[in-house]
Amino acid sequence: MFRQRSPRVASSAVEKAYSEIRARIISGHLPQGARLKEEDLALEIGVSRTPVREAVRRLAQEGMVELRPNSGALVAKWSVDDLVQLFDLRATLEGSVASLAAERMDSATLATLRTLARTMEVTMREGGPHFLERIAELNDSFHKGILAAADSPRLSRMMAQLVELPIVLRTFNCYSEEELRRSLGHHVELVAAFEARDAVWAESVMKAHVLSAKHALVAAQRARESDTPLVATA
Partner DNA sequence: TCGTGAATACTTGTATACAATTCTTGAGAT
Partner DNA sequence: ATCTCAAGAATTGTATACAAGTATTCACGA
| Contact partner at residue 37 from DNA, its own copies, none, CB < 5 to 8 Å by partner kind | DNA
Residues within window 58-97 making contact with DNA, judged by CB under 7 A: 68-73
Extended beta strands in the chain, E state: 35-36, 65-67, 73-75
- Work out how close the CB of 33 gets to DNA at its nearest, in angstroms, rounded to a whole number: 14
Number of chain positions touching its own copies (CB under 8 A): 24
Contact 174, 232 (CB under 8 A): yes
Q: Which of residues 1, 23, 80, 89 is near its own copies by CB under 8 A?
A: 89
Contact 19, 5 (CB under 8 A): no
Please state, in angstroms and rounded to a whole number, the distance separating the CA atoms of residues 117 and 111: 10
One DSSP character per residue, 61-82 reads HTTSEEE-TTS-EEEPP--HHH
Q: Which of residues 127, 128, 129, 153 is near its own copies by CB under 8 A?
A: 153
Helix (H, G, I), strand (E, B) or coil at 148: helix
The answer to the question of residue 137 lying near DNA (CB under 7 A) is: no
Question: By the criterion CB under 8 A, which residues form the site for its own copies?
Answer: 12, 50, 53-54, 57-58, 61, 63, 69, 82, 85-86, 88-89, 92-93, 96, 152-155, 157-158, 161
